[in-house]
Amino acid sequence: MKRSSLLLRTLLGVVVAGAALWLTFRKTDTAELAAAWNASSRALLLPVLPLLAASYGFRVLRWKVLLRHLEDIPMRVLTPPLLVAFMLNSVFPGRVGEVARAVLLARRTGVPFSSGFATVVMARLLDGLTLSLMTLLVMASMWPDLASSVRSGLILAGAGYLAVLAVLVLLRKRQEKTASALVRPLLALGLRRPADRARSLLLSFASGLDVMKSPRDTLKAAALSLGVWGCLTLSVIPVFLSLGIGFRWNTAPLVLVLSGLGMLIPTPAGTGTVHYLLGVVFPAVTGVSAVSAQAMAILFHATQFIPIIVAGLLAQGTVCTKSPDRRISITDIDPDSTAPPGEPGS
């Protein structure tokens, strides 16, 4: 990725984050917010760390299952690329960590970039489908309390995930026809070379979807996704307890649903957008005071993202790169390439 492109993305993300933070806190009584923050019990936050660790453990195990048809890779090999990828996603906007994970996997194991990237997409799709299921449960239990704009956003997000799933299923079952159909708009514009490259990438990508051949592995990956999001849901509860916020069974998943919507807007770690949805929309739906919800937004965001940033920085030192003495650089990652940097085709 060009340094200028990364810088522009980051600057735009920071601007959007700043605007969203201003919208969230512009009418906040800072004294009340500070009082709510100071009254929180830090000791009650300790369970967050093991729950987060368990969620990432489920992610690594799920990735191992998705990669099984390509190569049986130990979890100790998969863990550093996954942690570094989530760290990058938490620092830079635009989900650059997803590409980085496939690049690092290729460098550590020799799994082709396109095939590895397909398993990353599959894992994120499973996350999306699981979050969509949680969204349906939240919507069913809170429908009368949801604003029409929130309902529309939740419905569109769920529909988008289902559309992507349908494309992946078609790509897996009818690779040639689906790939040709997807690049047809490029051919109609006379862009034959980009169309040929995209078609080649899609066919290579389809090989990473072979896990969908095995119902057993697919079900196992889906079950592990439930483990991921179950742990994340439980990790919200200590934040409520720390701030003395009452909660029902559906308010913890509501926090994750709203955070997921906030993460759709490319800001670093969802900064600002997540705070807005939790600090403004959450109290409107649940009746929690605005100050308590804003304190919860800050604390939730910090407890979710600071640990993975630290873990990713620590894991970066163990990741193999082009040369044994050189660490991965974000500018090495080219999302438009069909091969990882340093290999033919990059």
DSSP single-letter state for residue 12: H
* Ranges of H-type helices in the chain: 3-25, 30-38, 48-67, 75-91, 96-109, 113-142, 148-173, 175-188, 192-207, 215-243, 251-263, 273-276, 282-286, 290-316
CA distance 73 to 118: 16
- Tell me what pLDDT residue 336 has: 41
pLDDT at 19 over 80: yes
pTM (2 d.p.): 0.79
For the stretch 177-211, pLDDT in tens is 888 888 888 888 888 888 888 887 777 667 656 66
pLDDT at 23 over 90: no
Residue closest to 259 by CA, chosen among 269, 246, 245: 269
Residue closest to 237 by CA, chosen among 67, 50, 63, 109: 50
- Tell me what pLDDT residue 263 has: 83
**Looking at 64-68, 289-293, 342-346, which range is the least confident one?**
342-346
Give the percent of the chain with pLDDT over 70. 84
- CB-based burial label for 21 (10 Å; 0-12, 13-18, 19+): middle
HSE at residue 345, side-chain half, CA atoms within 13 A, is 12
Residue closest to 183 by CA, chosen among 172, 173, 166, 171: 171
- 2: pLDDT confidence band, cut at 50, 70 and 90? low
pLDDT at 134 over 80: yes
Residue closest to 141 by CA, chosen among 263, 253, 280, 241: 253
For the stretch 49-108, pLDDT in tens is 999 999 999 999 999 999 988 888 999 999 999 999 999 988 887 678 888 899 999 888
